């Protein structure tokens, strides 16, 4: 029987619900032609990865969108609104679930994020739940834009292990992206795919966490 001592949670569509189609449509409205190649759950333009890894600033990202749309007069707000359109929010009860997990296990957040989305998400949970940030729900939070690396690259998992000292074979990683789970599995982690049908609460129940 596998012994689980640690939990690592993704943020998007595990805790904070997102809808990629909303940003897809928003980018179309800005003038992106090849939107399915430009932005999708399974892959995206290098501009997004660069923002997540802090290889470019938010200002650089916005200028990149202007260049790709060939609309140099787009405002920062128009671009941010399109990029943030996918962000829905944290459903009621989700914070209670992650607090429960944190009370039983060493728990960590591992999120591909960027300064534009992070600001929006933190403002959402402040306004909706009067919670300043996610630090109170986990032993430690790991965000790509603060680490300079992102999933599915192995280095971000390896850095988390280095900083926490956890054993991957005793750690359950829950994420909504199969490509992220594949890397984790190759490094010895136990994994669970989070979906609309099999959400975080269902996984908690099925693993008897």
User: How long, in residues, is the chain?
Assistant: 209
Question: Above 60 in pLDDT, residue 194?
Answer: yes
What's the pTM value of the predicted model, to 2 decimals? Answer: 0.92
* Dihedral sign computed on CA atoms, order 174, 20, 17, 11: positive
- Confidence class of residue 70 from pLDDT cuts 50, 70 and 90? confident
Cα 76 from Cα 94, distance rounded (Å): 31
pLDDT (0 to 100) of residue 34: 78
Nearest to 25 by CA among 38, 42, 11: 38
CATH class of the domain at 6-17+91-206: alpha beta
Strands 6-9 and 171-175: parallel
Cα 112 from Cα 114, distance rounded (Å): 7
Q: Which CATH superfamily is domain 20-85 in?
A: Putative phosphatase; domain 2 (1.10.150.240)
How do residues 9-49 score in pLDDT, each as one tens digit? 999 999 999 998 898 899 888 888 778 778 765 567 889 89
Strands 171-175 and 87-89: unpaired
pLDDT (0 to 100) of residue 23: 85
Cα 138 from Cα 22, distance rounded (Å): 29
User: Domain segments of the chain: what residues?
Assistant: 6-17+91-206, 20-85
Cα 176 from Cα 199, distance rounded (Å): 9
Average pLDDT of the chain to the nearest whole number: 94
């Amino acid at each position: 029987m596998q012994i689980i001592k640690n939990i690592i949670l993704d943020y998007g569509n595990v805790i904070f619900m997102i809808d990629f189609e909303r940003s897809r449509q928003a980018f179309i409205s800005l003038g992106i032609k090849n939107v399915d190649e430009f932005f999708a759950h399974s892959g995206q333009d290098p501009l997004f990865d660069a923002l997540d890894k802090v290889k470019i600033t938010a200002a650089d990202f916005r200028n990149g969108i202007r260049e790709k749309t060939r609309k140099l007069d787009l405002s920062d707000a128009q671009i941010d609104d399109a990029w943030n359109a996918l962000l829905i929010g944290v459903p009621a009860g989700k914070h209670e679930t992650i607090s429960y997990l944190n009370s039983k296990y060493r728990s960590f957040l591992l999120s591909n994020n960027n300064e534009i989305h992070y600001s929006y998400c933190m403002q959402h949970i402040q306004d909706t739940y009067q919670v300043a940030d996610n630090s109170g729900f986990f032993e430690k939070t790991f965000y790509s834009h603060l680490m300079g690396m992102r999933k599915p690259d192995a280095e971000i998992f390896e850095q988390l292990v280095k900083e926490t000292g956890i054993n991957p074979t005793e750690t359950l990683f829950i994420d909504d992206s199969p490509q992220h789970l594949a890397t984790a599995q190759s490094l010895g982690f136990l994994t669970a795919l989070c979906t609309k049908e099999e959400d975080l609460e269902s996984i908690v129940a099925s693993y008897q966490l």
